[in-house]
């Protein structure tokens, strides 16, 4: 690196990769400002030190660990579990990649005090990350986030990290936990009667090479859907994300293959990772967008409703950023509404409902993003 790229050398070592409120995230590689087994080790040791302090009155402390499809994720997850073991903390580790919501579920199901998932979400393939969770299954928040950060900062040398945990003591999680999680997912269905009345609605699903391939199609079938179409090329688990420039589903190009499949099979809905898109929506003309070629309505991760053309160009947005909406509902009168819990935070007025008042609705829930 010194001989070939001095800039990269400086970038890799000029500072420490910071453990923030969301954990760690960075480019994988050599250096203190890179995601590697040493920066991950220091973060995990800091987490363990905090757990040992917070739960000192317990006979046993436990942590659940999961990982995504990214390069080095299985290695990072195993090392995280080993460090926990070396610190006298019981460690559960999934036998392969799993979606983050299952890690959250496992923490509560097993009565763990914390959890870790190795993932960099939608970042480019060069990145990886480390997210810490508390005993309630949610990501760490104040005061735990600040306290863990302080514990990590106390670690001044890699020699302070206990890497020597016995792998044989790691408890493997697999199909048994998957089944418990899927059973709970089915129980959380908002309107099973609606599914029962429309089981053959055509749904296209793509994990974009990620963790959803493990459980999403299976969950849809358990809920009663019978016409689920995959995108085979993107079902392949691959941390290089070979079929897309970026694995971020909020970038329209990432959906090209899935949208093509949706057109081929005449699908009404497209699910990508944890996002829903409704294809060929009949209410597009009501927005006066017919001449702009809009063919798809998408509920994005930022809670915005966006109309896209067939070429994935956005032509209209509901501008609901910050609303906290997690559910898109189609009302009986044909209006579309975004909900946060039971409260409507945005509604598209119809010709028969110009004030946008939300009436009884049929819902499609957006999973934890």
SS3 labels along the chain = CCCCCHHHHHHHHCCCCCCECCEEEEEECCCCCCECHHHHHHHHHHHHHHHHHHCCCCCCCEEEEEECCCCCHHHHHHHHHHHHHHCCCEEEEECCCCCHHHHHHHHHHHCCCEEEEECCCCCCCCEEEEEEEECCCCECCCCHHHHHHHHHHHCCCHHHCCCCCCHHHCEEECHHHHHHHHHHHHHCCCCHHHHHHCCCCEEEEECCCCHHHHCHHHHHHHHCCCEEEECHHHHCCCCCCCCCCCCCCCCHHHHHHHHHHHHHHCCCEEEECCEEEEECCCCHHHHCCHHHCEEEEEECCCCCEEEEECCCCEEEECCCCCCCCCEEEEECCCCEEEEECCEEEEECCECCECCCCCCCEEEEECCCC
- To the query of whether residue 303 is one of the catalytic residues in this protein, the response is no
Rounded CA gap, 223 and 316, in Å?
A: 32
Q: Which residue has the higher pLDDT, 339 or 183?
A: 183
With 70 as the cut, is the pLDDT of residue 264 above it? yes
With 90 as the cut, is the pLDDT of residue 341 above it? no
Across 274-299, average pLDDT: 42
pLDDT at 320: 55
Report the topology of domain 6-179: Alpha-D-Glucose-1,6-Bisphosphate; Chain A, domain 3 (3.40.120)
Report the predicted TM-score, pTM, of the whole model to 2 decimal places.
0.75
Of 70-84, 195-209, 264-278, 338-352, the least confident: 338-352
pLDDT at 28: 94
Rounded CA gap, 103 and 101, in Å?
A: 5
Q: Which of 114, 121, 252, 347 is catalytic?
A: 121
Bond into 143 cis (ω within 30): yes
Across 145-171, average pLDDT: 94
Q: Which residue has the higher pLDDT, 362 or 266?
A: 266
Q: Which residue has the higher pLDDT, 45 or 255?
A: 45
pLDDT band at 255 (very low <50, low <70, confident <90, very high): confident
pLDDT at 251: 81
User: Other C-beta atoms within 10 Å of 246: how many?
Assistant: 15
Across 287-301, average pLDDT: 48
pLDDT in tens, 42-96: 999 999 999 999 999 999 999 999 999 999 999 999 999 999 999 999 999 999 9
Distances (CA, A) of 146 to 115, 180, 292: 17, 33, 49
Q: Which residue has the higher pLDDT, 194 or 346?
A: 194
pLDDT band at 9 (very low <50, low <70, confident <90, very high): confident
In the chain, domain spans: 6-179, 190-365
Distances (CA, A) of 227 to 129, 160, 362: 35, 54, 20
pLDDT band at 185 (very low <50, low <70, confident <90, very high): very high
Sequence-distant (6+) residues with CB within 8 A of 240 are 71, 125
pLDDT at 325: 61
């Amino acid at each position: 690196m010194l001989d070939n790229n001095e800039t990269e050398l400086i970038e890799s070592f000029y500072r420490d990769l910071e453990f923030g409120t969301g954990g760690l995230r960075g480019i994988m590689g050599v250096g203190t400002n890179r995601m590697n087994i040493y920066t991950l080790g220091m973060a995990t040791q800091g987490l363990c030190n905090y757990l040992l302090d917070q739960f000192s009155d317990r006979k046993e402390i436990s942590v659940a660990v999961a990982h995504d499809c990214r390069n080095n994720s299985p290695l990072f997850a195993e090392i995280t579990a080993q460090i926990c073991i070396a610190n006298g903390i019981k460690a559960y580790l999934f036998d392969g990649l799993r979606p983050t919501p299952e890690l959250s579920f496992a923490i509560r199901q097993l009565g763990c005090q914390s959890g870790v998932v190795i993932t960099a979400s939608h970042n480019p393939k060069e990145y990886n990350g480390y997210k810490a969770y508390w005993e309630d299954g949610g990501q760490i928040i104040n005061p735990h986030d600040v306290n863990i950060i302080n514990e990590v900062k106390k670690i001044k040398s890699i020699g302070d990290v206990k890497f020597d945990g016995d792998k044989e003591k790691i408890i493997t999680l697999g199909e048994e936990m998957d089944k418990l999680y899927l059973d709970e997912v089915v129980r959380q269905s908002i309107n099973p009667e609606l599914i029962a009345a429309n089981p053959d609605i055509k749904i296209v699903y793509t994990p974009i090479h990620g963790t959803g391939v493990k459980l999403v199609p299976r969950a849809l079938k358990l809920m009663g859907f019978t016409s689920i179409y995959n995108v085979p090329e993107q079902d392949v688990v691959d941390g290089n994300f070979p079929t897309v420039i970026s694995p971020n589903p909020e970038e329209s190009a990432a959906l090209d293959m899935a949208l093509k499949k949706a057109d081929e099979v005449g699908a009404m809905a497209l699910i990508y990772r944890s996002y829903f898109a409704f294809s060929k929506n009949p209410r597009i003309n009501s927005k006066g967008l017919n001449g702009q070629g809009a063919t798809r309505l998408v509920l994005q991760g930022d809670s915005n409703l966006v109309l896209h053309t067939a070429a994935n160009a956005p032509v209209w947005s509901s501008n609901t950023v910050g609303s906290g909406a997690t559910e898109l509902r189609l009302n009986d009168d044909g209006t579309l509404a975004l909900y946060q819990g039971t409260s409507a935070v945005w509604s598209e007025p119809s010709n028969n409902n110009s004030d946008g008042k939300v009436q009884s609705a049929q819902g499609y829930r957006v999973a934890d993003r």
